[in-house]
Structure 1
């Protein structure tokens, strides 16, 4: 089975982990070293948080300035429209930025937010 690892640079591991735990991500034992941490999103998806210096050493380039550009938008599925709204609302309460009301595009309902570092995320539900 293929696993997905989402790697993001952050300024503070503990603060970032607290934010993502507010969304239901898990991983209390997940600190890999002083510079990186792994949280579980689902059985097959992990979030790897790295201090900026570790991320830049790993990639060989500067981390994207999220105030001026987007490198990627991370989208995760939700089980219902209500769960989409609940998760984005939880992100906003935890200090993130909700990006407006939900959008419907055919059978898909989506709503986005930016995390504490300005990385853009969305939750989406596909109606059957």
Structure 2
């Protein structure tokens, strides 16, 4: 079974994208970062590789999706509180992101979503596991 997760995303302007996510509070593993890509740390076991489009194309024969026009993936990250979710979303908007949809409040779970600078959708949420409805 896999022990680490690396999500690869194509980006148009790596320095701008890296600055955007750094300003949101994310750190980078410099050992796996260079002019072609930046390894953004999500957790001890999860990373997002932000790759320049031209470099990303070396890994696939398929045409790259324009995330501003089509949805290729939804990346969901959990946070410790509703306040943290709101704070991150507000900061993302200040940095040039666009809100993807209205806030979703289900009582036990609160979520907000934004399109990053390249159009990728990030859903940030808080969940109280003790209040998740039983099926």
Question: Normalising to structure 2: TM-score of the pair?
Answer: 0.86
Aligned residue for 2:57?
Answer: 56
Aligned residue for 1:23?
Answer: 24
Matched positions, count: 128
- Rounded to whole Å, the distance in 2 between the matches of 1:90 and 1:76 is 16
115-124 vs 36-45, which deviates more? Answer: 36-45
- Rounded to whole Å, the distance in 1 between the matches of 2:110 and 2:62 is 35
CA drift at 1:105: 2.5
- Rounded to whole Å, the distance in 1 between the matches of 2:31 and 2:90 is 25
Q: Measured at CA, do residues 33 and 96 of structure 1 come closer, stay the same or move farther in structure 2, by a change above 3 Å? A: same
Aligned residue for 2:4?
Answer: 3
1:59-96 Cα offsets, whole Å, 9 max, x none, are: 22121112221011000001011111111111111111
User: Does the residue aligned with 2:51 lie in a helix, a strand or coil?
Assistant: strand
CA RMSD of superposed structures (Å):
1.7
Q: Which runs of 5+ in 1 are unaligned?
A: none
- Rounded to whole Å, the distance in 2 between the matches of 1:54 and 1:70 is 21
Asked whether the equivalents of residues 66 and 118 of structure 1 are also in contact (C-alpha less than 8 Å), the reply is yes
Aligned residue for 1:98?
Answer: 99
CA drift at 1:17: 0.3
- Rounded to whole Å, the distance in 2 between the matches of 1:23 and 1:31 is 20
10-19 vs 62-71, which deviates more? Answer: 62-71
Asked whether the equivalents of residues 79 and 85 of structure 2 are also in contact (C-alpha less than 8 Å), the reply is yes
93-102 vs 81-90, which deviates more? Answer: 93-102
**Max Rg structure:** 2
Aligned residue for 1:79?
Answer: 80
Q: Measured at CA, do residues 30 and 117 of structure 1 come closer, stay the same or move farther in structure 2, by a change above 3 Å? A: farther
Q: Which runs of 5+ in 2 are unaligned?
A: 131-135
